[in-house]
Amino acid sequence: MDILHLVDRLEELFNESKSLPLTHKVIVDEERMLELIDQMRLAIPEEIKSSQQIINQKERIIAQANEEARRTIELAKGQSTKLVEKDTIVQKAEVIAENIIQKARQETKLISKEADDYAVNSLEHLETELGKILVQVRNGLTALKNDIVLKEQANPQLDSQRPANRTEQPE
């Protein structure tokens, strides 16, 4: 499932939650909140796989550019070998071959730079989105924890009736 869709569902859960009078606190359905958090944990590896695919695509583009440059260089060498028959033709062939080689190197550099830029931009975008999601998850957890503390302060008997704590996730 798309991580942004899960964030929307988390926001929807928050908006549907009941407000505590005279506070900025809400009562959140714990089961639904934990279910969304679990789904987010499962979705984040998918986003990481997406970034890996971008990196693989970049490497494939670079490999294709290198192969094309190699073929162009071989073609230039082949053409220059055929032109060895005459001195003036040899000189012209060397110039042409060098130009072809230089052009192939420039194209390889350009394609490599564009692939790097594409990968960096994609990963920066992914980093931004994951950062936003992390902030939203942390805000949701903080709000939920604050609600639990307020409930316990409002009704100390709830603490003795509450089931054993779940194992807490490290922050």
Question: Which candidate, 31, 63, 71, 46, places its Cα nearest to that of 130?
Answer: 46
Domain ranges within the chain, ordered by starting residue: 3-156
108-146 pLDDT tens trace: 898 889 888 888 888 888 889 888 888 888 998 998 899
pLDDT at residue 120, rounded to an integer = 87
Per the structure block, which two tokens stand in for 149?
């503390």
Query: CB–CB of 66/108 below 8 Å?
Result: yes
